[in-house]
Structure 1
Amino acid sequence: MTGASFEALNPRQMYGKVVETMIIKATRPPRQAFLLAVMAGLFIGLGFVYCAVANVTGAGKIVGGLVFSLGLMLVVVLGGDLFTSTTMTLVPRASRKITWRQMFSNWGVVYAGNFIGAIALVALILLSGHPWKDGGSIALYYIKTTEYKLTYTFTEALFLGVMCNLMVCLGVWMGYSGRSLFDKMAACLFPVGLFISCGFEHSIANMFMIPIGILCSGMMPPEVAAKLADPVNTLSLLTWENFVLKNLIPVTLGNILGGGVLVGLFHWLVFARESAQEASATTPSHESLDEPNAG
């Protein structure tokens, strides 16, 4: 291994790489984008499974947050298409390199694919019987976490979503500076660890977490239900309507603001004019660009 593999891109080079990547994401064929999004939704759910095990076994929120970063590492390294980082396609849209239609169409495809991937993992985990091991301790974690997530006000959920995707997109953005596999993985670690430890809200992770909590609450045997403080109230709170209205909608909006606006558009404001001046001097063909890992 040479020393060159540890040389990171500077901030201006990172901006250029993000623009290239977001153009590729927004103009990707819908079928390919959808399949990559399914993969990403499943990956993020796997991170939450890892986090649940860490919390139940006493490792705590900090370790839980670090192991949850596995989900984003899988997305970044294997090229999955994740809605929360896809919100940064606002950058090429602001530079008029893609259309509003291309951007929103891509968002819809990726969001749907993430949801299907997350729900597929819910089915796999439930069929494996994993939540009911050790007296149902994992299932109780899913149920209690879901119950907590559905107690936020709309405003709280919105800004928890803002803070979450601020951290996720900063991690993804830093990953673009890396030149090796280790660099990309390391960049995900602490931003994701922070958002989990602080209880910030990630819309795609919740596509796994809340459905599995709702389904576990409807399947729990009496001996598991007896371990809940108020089983009746829990069952009344854990509904699909509450999932969509009290969490998924406000958190998704917050994720768009946190990632697309506070990370993506902020960097566009910093670097767009300089990049435009360079582009007028030299305009490389789009076909000559190698596709970087997306995330």
Structure 2
Amino acid sequence: MSYVNPPDFVAKMIDAGEAKVFMSTRDTVIRAYMAGAILALAAAFAVTVTVQTGNALVGALLFPVGFCMLYLLGFDLLTGVFTLAPLALLDRRPGVRVRSILRNWGLVFVGNFAGALTVALMMAVIVTFGFSVDPNEIGQRLGEIGTDRTVGYADHGAAGMLTLFIRGVLCNWMVSTGVVAAMMSTSVSGKVIAMWMPILVFFYMGFEHSVVNMFLFPSGLMLGGDFSVADYFIWNEIPTVVGNLVGGLTFVGLTLYATHARTGATRNPGTLDDFTVPDKVNA
């Protein structure tokens, strides 16, 4: 059967985290660059479909194609390494240190951002005919997304920041579940089906993904969005990165590791330590 049991795929998670920590700088950046570019193109695709059909669900249903492609090609997203790399440290793999994990995260961030920015520039050129005309309907929508999801949060102050952070947490709960879900199967079809479901949830619910936003907001700035670079980093990217880290590590990495890699001691089935059963129940 192609299904992999939880203890076995959690072992794969730890191995993957260790491999990413020790990967060369060259390979880490290349893989992160391509991941950012492919995910950005998938986001552009989803926005295009949504605008043309007027149905956000259709765009969300199709967006996971990019995530599946980049995963099957062995590329790395920041949201994924947030979840996997720390597991190698928790498992006390030789040579894994906090600084080596931070190095991996930093390189993946830079690579993802460069890849997403490349596609943002390409899309800006396409929707404006090389900046010779005003943005078309798709370009206008990209500008609106950037404004709504920066200034829109800022208008609510601390409550907006909290909302942004929680959307980041929920996002990487789903995205990292997609990363892990691909390890649950040894077949390509099984991996794709397992990845598709949580990625669909995150995108349709409008949760905040740091790498997707590396495309949406720079392209929005190029296309006349009414917000600044400072707005983007303060009122979206930085809180989103923190939320993604908390969500992926807390709700996916640590929980799976705790219950499948470092399981608690089994109880003796012949004892009733936790409760007593009365001899009879009074009427």
Paired residue for 1:78? 73
CA distance in 2, matches of 1:96, 1:135: 52
Provide the identity percentage: 28
Could you list the runs of 5+ residues in structure 2 that have no partner in the other structure?
A: 154-159, 265-283
Paired residue for 1:279? none
Following TM superposition, by how much is the alpha carbon of 1:107 offset from its aligned partner in structure 2, in angstroms?
0.4
Whether contact under 8 Å (1:90, 1:261) holds in the other structure is: no
CA distance in 2, matches of 1:20, 1:165: 20
Paired residue for 2:33? 38
Counterpart among 202, 210, 214 of residue 203 in structure 1: 210
Matched, 1:173 2:180: yes
Deviations 1:203-243 (A, max 9, x none): 000000011011101xxxxxxxxxxxxxxxx62xx110000
Whether contact under 8 Å (2:7, 2:261) holds in the other structure is: no
Counterpart among 45, 49, 56 of residue 50 in structure 1: 45
Please show how residues 166-245 of structure 1 align to structure 2 within 5 Å. Answer: 166-217=173-224, 235=226, 238-245=227-234
Matched, 1:63 2:58: yes
Deviations 1:125-145 (A, max 9, x none): 223346899971101110111
Scaled by the length of structure 1, the TM-score of the pair is: 0.81
Following TM superposition, by how much is the alpha carbon of 1:274 offset from its aligned partner in structure 2, in angstroms?
4.9
Higher Cα Rg, which structure: 2
CA distance in 2, matches of 1:55, 1:40: 22
CA change 1:27–1:60 in 2 (3 A) is: same
Following TM superposition, by how much is the alpha carbon of 1:271 offset from its aligned partner in structure 2, in angstroms?
2.1
Query: Is the partner of 2:194 in helix, strand or coil?
Result: helix
Whether contact under 8 Å (2:149, 2:236) holds in the other structure is: yes
Matched, 1:269 2:258: yes
Whether contact under 8 Å (2:165, 2:239) holds in the other structure is: yes
Deviations 1:161-190 (A, max 9, x none): 000000001111111011111122222212
Paired residue for 2:157? none
Whether contact under 8 Å (2:14, 2:91) holds in the other structure is: no
Name segments (4+ residues, structure 1) moved above 4 Å.
Answer: 130-135
Number of aligned residues: 252
CA distance in 2, matches of 1:126, 1:135: 8
CA distance in 2, matches of 1:85, 1:160: 17
Matched, 1:139 2:143: no
Query: Is the partner of 1:200 in helix, strand or coil?
Result: coil
Matched, 1:259 2:266: no
Please show how residues 18-33 of structure 1 align to structure 2 within 5 Å. Answer: 18-33=13-28
**Paired AA for residue 203 in structure 2:** I
CA change 1:31–1:273 in 2 (3 A) is: same
**Paired AA for residue 246 in structure 2:** L
Following TM superposition, by how much is the alpha carbon of 1:59 offset from its aligned partner in structure 2, in angstroms?
5.1
Paired residue for 2:91? 95
Q: Which moved more, 1:87-96 or 1:74-83?
A: 87-96
Deviations 1:94-139 (A, max 9, x none): 1222211111110000011000000111122223346899971101
Whether contact under 8 Å (1:61, 1:196) holds in the other structure is: no
CA change 1:146–1:123 in 2 (3 A) is: same
CA distance in 2, matches of 1:130, 1:186: 36
Scaled by the length of structure 2, the TM-score of the pair is: 0.84
Counterpart among 109, 124, 127 of residue 126 in structure 1: 124
Paired residue for 1:116? 114
Could you list the runs of 5+ residues in structure 1 that have no partner in the other structure?
A: 218-233, 276-295
Whether contact under 8 Å (2:175, 2:198) holds in the other structure is: yes
Q: Which structure has the higher relative contact order (CA within 8 Å, separation 6+)?
A: 1
Higher-helix-fraction structure:
1
CA distance in 2, matches of 1:67, 1:22: 28
